[in-house]
Chains A and B, each alone.
Chain A
Amino acid sequence: MKMNLSRKVRELLSVHGHPPREVYFDLENSGYLPGEVVEAMLPYFNKIGYGHPSITHKPGWEALELVYETKELVAETINAENPESIVFTHSGTEANNLAILGYLTRNRGRKGKVLVSAVEHLSVIFPAQMASELFGFKVQLVPVDEHGFVDPELLKYYVDKDTVFMSIQMVNHEIGTIQRIKELVDVVKSINPNIVFHTDAADAYGWLQVDLKKLGVDMLTISSHKIHGPRGVGVLYVREGVDIEPPLKGQLSVEKYWPGVENVPLIAGFKKAVEIMFRGFDSKVSYVKSLRDRLLNGILNNVPDVLVNGPLGDSRVANNVNVSFLYIEGEALTVELSTRGVYVSSGSACTSRVLEPSHILLAIGRKHEEAHGSILFKLSQYHRQEDIDYALEVIPGAVERLRNISAWKRGGG
């Protein structure tokens, strides 16, 4: 069985050849690490800080120093008063689970209502549903409009004195919608100031100014790989006074809510990625925004029957392009583009292996066939204009080829 699986992958790889250029747009799911980030990690594997950060010897203290320096840096970038409010996990998914299950486990006697938006990452929706099954919380999904926005007026109907927790992401990971979090927090807290408000900021961090003092949220998630840091590092900010219970049991060391040893070399890489991300912040964002618009307009001008998923302009995060190519299967297009050196993803990372349409696209009102043809491009400061132009050279032909052999016909069913 193992032999057959690897043979299948080898066959897929063998059709790739040597495209003139390779452009990686799948930063949603994973990404390459800049040289500076790799270099920052290497010493921590075998030269310094290879000890356990809570053990009292030099390699342990070196590790602890790095962990604390990184907490201080992250706290500074999000305007958190206390670096100890920064908790490391091993991914954004773990941070979201910690926020939701941690808070709801601690408050399991209260029952009450939990609200999450219909376009949250599954690492928010599933733990909320789990807390409902385990502890009897009533979980409600808050609908969004055709661009993915939660309506503050609608939220007023959902929030009441029984609501204990809610989670609304700052930027949608698939369609790039920038949620008006401050306004939503104000609405929620004006009705019930005791609600704990969590926001998944994995796709906002490094692209928007995330200022905790202005936002007023109680917990916030960050993910390393979304900013060209290594996979395997997540962060949960927990406001002082918010009491959570670690859902994972084991030896607690530096992290008061997450047991196990910190992955120190990866935290070193994450620290470097944060430094890079906040270097020349405004010019980086406007540069990537110009690439985003070049790619989006290029697709719309050169490929017929394309729908843009998510809002346009300033309500969309700088690095996100998500479009549905009608009459084709998105996954087939990812393969077709891959053979030409353009690497993208279709639907959400969580659903792309099961050929189910993205729940986010369905939640904004896309039909199944429209959702199936969706492609997500995530850009960064490491892309060049030539990368975008190469993608634009390749995409129209690839779409046309697939449409010619597609079972869905234009104008038909």
Chain B
Amino acid sequence: MHVEEIDLRNVPASCTSHPVIKLRGFIQSVVERGIEKIKLFFKEEDIPRGIMEFILRNYGYVVEEEQRLEDGSIVFTAGRRL
């Protein structure tokens, strides 16, 4: 199964670029294209873990797997639930 990935860890903060803004575009895109599985790399200081879960749930994705990397960042693998 195709897994669409996004890395939000090194997004420079500017007026048009921020992990929250990037995430919004990514979610819009995967929802529109009916992507079943997604993988997100993010830092909790940008988007707290619970908030990422909440946002994904709002768009029909449930976190199936969670990993914490050495640098403290988080990897979520989420699947679409209809």
A residues apposed to B, CB below 8 Å: 118, 122, 125-126, 129, 138, 140-144, 146, 151, 153-154, 157-158, 350-351, 356-359, 362-367
Contact = CB atoms under 8 A, between A and B. Distances in A.
A157 B21 contact: no
Interface in B5-47: 13, 15-16, 18, 20-21, 23-25, 27-29, 45-47
Contacts of A126: 15
A125 B50 CA distance: 23
A224 to B, nearest CB: 24
19 contacts: A118-B21, A118-B24, A126-B15, A140-B46, A141-B18, A143-B20, A154-B54, A157-B50, A157-B54, A351-B15, A356-B15, A356-B16, A359-B16, A362-B21, A362-B25, A365-B28, A366-B25, A367-B28, A367-B29
Contacts of A158: 48, 51
B16 to A, nearest CB: 5
Contact of B24 (A151, A351, A358, A364): A364
Contacts of B29: 367
B5 to A, nearest CB: 18
Interface of chain B, helix or strand or loop or mixed? helix
Contacts of B3: none
Interface residues of B, number: 21
- Give the most central of B13, B24, B28, B29: most A CB within 10 Å: B24
B45 A363 contact: no
A362 B20 CA distance: 10
- Give the most central of A122, A140, A367: most B CB within 10 Å: A140
Contacts of A351: 15-16
Nearest to A125: B15
Contacts of B27: 365
Given A154-B51, A158-B51, A122 B15 contact: yes
- Give the most central of B15, B45, B51, B55: most A CB within 10 Å: B15
A363 B24 contact: yes
Contacts of A125: 15
